[in-house]
Amino acid sequence: MATVDLTSLDNTIEDGKHRAPLVLGGMDYSDVTDAVAGVWEKKQPAIWWPIFGLAVSLTMLFGALIMHLFFTGVGVWGNNNPTYWAFDIVNFVFWVGIGHAGTLISAILFLFRQHWRTSINRAAEAMTIFAVVCAATFPGIHIGRIWVFYWLFPVPTEHLAMWPNFRSPLLWDVFAVGTYATTSLLFWYMGMVPDLATFRDRSKSKIGQFVYGLLSLGWTGSARNWHRYEMAYTILAALATPLVLSVHTVVSFDFAVSQLPGWHTTIFPPYFVAGAIFSGFAMVVTLLVPVRKLYGLENLITIRHLENMNKIIMATGLMVGTAYSIELFIAAYSGVASEQFAFYNRAFGNFGWAYFIMFTCNVFIPQLFWFKWCRTTPWFMVIVSIFVNIGMWFERFVIIMALCRDFIPGSWFYYRPTWVDLMMLIGSFGLFFTLFLLFCRYLPVIAMSEVKNVIPHADHGHEGGHGHEGGHPATSH
């Protein structure tokens, strides 16, 4: 089907007169279907099994450690006076941050009509949901008396005669993360229904037909259904856009609303949101580069997609760097001794090494993306994005370790994670990768119906004069 020479086609430069294609290799509708459904139909690449085995073992380790925590108590963690918050909230904020890229790509880029999002939104949304699952685990298991977890929600109880405090940032978190997880799940699933119908129609096995038939809700692709579907998709995008910005804002309120030097700042919400997008895009790049290579999706997830994401990583990295500098400036300018101490301690105190890692990974390393080679070379961008993820984990660590040196020097304390802390962090990655690998294995990794919509032919009259010939789609370009 390919009528265009793959090697000569460059879609990285957007020319106003001639729209660069978003799908390379001259793929037509059925090529797209074959490529995406092929991920699910064909045998998984050999490397899938060892990775999956490792991820599942780590997930089981995670589960075992959670049981250990439940039956022994939160003392198995290194949290101790005055560091009441430690790895659990660091991991929570880290994973919630990762979860921001998906909805940003699906919702905000959709509203801005950034059509290049179509190839990457599905995987990014899936990543969002899996990251939020990992995130929600940590505060969930931190509550101590896990069997009364429902006290987090406004459940009427006659015996207790108590309600949650709706004026507390920790409760806002419950609502923000809960709403975000639910809305992301609805958005993801709704976007997937037409593609699940494709799987239903291609499935050879009875089980596949039944399961995908059930999941696709009897979707036929009726124009009347599409009309309402597109409307609903736009509305969900419009709802998810303020939501995605609010979630990390609320998470930052956990810190900013408290009255602690170094935390009680109004810069936290925007700075957290920028950091979240930064880390989320880094994770998308980390995941999608191997996925496109392993499943041969280079024509759908092109260098242009990756480059665009890298540009966003660089932009948000600069925002985060600006925020770090502004924080230092405000502390110095404020004239408040405890505020100045908090930041001096952050940079040069007992956790100065973490601050150094954070600054290097988040501010200096992404600057490599100023060079075109760096932002268009897949293996290299993965390395950079892994550094960004490390840096963003340390950012949260640095903020929370402010607790180690509180107001009474007599109670200063050097926090050390226990083996349970470290293994739980690793275990949460296992959970994340298990879910992501299962997603690659059983669900459409790329939004086929959306990609078909941006293939030149479907885009009426925008593909340089070959508009209405009515021929085969592949011949129109």
CB of 179 to other proteins, least distance (A): 4
Enter the DSSP assignment of 83: B
Residue (60 or 186) nearer to other proteins, CB: 186
Q: Judged by CB, which is closer to other proteins: 249, or 385?
A: 249
- 3-state SS, 143-183, equals CCCHHHHHHHCCCCCCCCCCCCCCCCHHHHHHHHHHHHHHH
Which two structure tokens, joined as six digits, stand for 183? Answer: 């809305």
Give how far the C-alpha of residue 66 lies from the chain's centroid of Cα atoms, to the nearest Å: 24
Contact criterion met (CB below 8 Å) for 30 and 451: no
- Nearer CB in complex with other proteins: 231/332: 231
Q: Min. distance of Cβ 222 from other proteins in angstroms? A: 5
Work out how close the CB of 62 gets to other proteins at its nearest, in angstroms, rounded to a whole number. 19
172 vs 394 by CB, closer to other proteins: 172
Number of neighbouring beta carbons within 10 Å of residue 72: 10
* Complex with other proteins: residue 10 or 230, whichever CB lies closer: 230
C-alpha span between 28 and 284 (Å, rounded)? 26
Query: Closest distance between other proteins and the C-beta of residue 228, in Å?
Result: 5
The CA distance from 168 to 339, in Å, is: 23
Q: Which residue has the tokens 């995406």?
A: 36
**∠399-401-407 over CA atoms, to 5°?**
105
Question: Smallest distance, Å, CB 453 to other proteins?
Answer: 5
Nearer to other proteins, 213 or 352 (CB): 213
- The vertex-45 CA angle with 42 and 51, nearest 5°, equals 130
Of residues 193 and 368, the one with the C-beta less far from other proteins: 193
Q: Which two tokens stand for residue 114?
A: 């950034």
3 state SS of 277: helix
Considering the complex, what minimum distance in angstroms separates the CB of residue 220 from other proteins? 6
CB of 266 to other proteins, least distance (A): 14
The residue among 28 and 327 lying less far from other proteins, judged by its C-beta, is 28
Question: In Å, how far are 139, 149, 253, 329 from 154, measured between CA atoms?
Answer: 17, 11, 20, 42
Residue with smaller CB distance to other proteins, 175 or 344:
175
- Which helix or strand (DSSP H or E) is residue 252 part of? helix 223-256
Contacts of 341 (CB under 8 A, 6+ apart): 261
Q: Which residues of 265-284 are buried (b: 16+ CB within 10 A; e: fewer)?
A: beebbebbbbbbbbbbbbbb
The structure tokens listed for 442 are: 């059983």
Q: Cβ of residue 172: shortest distance to other proteins, in angstroms?
A: 4
Shortest spacing between CB 363 and other proteins, in angstroms? 30
Q: Which is nearer to other proteins, 161 or 408 (CB)?
A: 161
Smallest gap from residue 65 Cβ to other proteins (A): 16
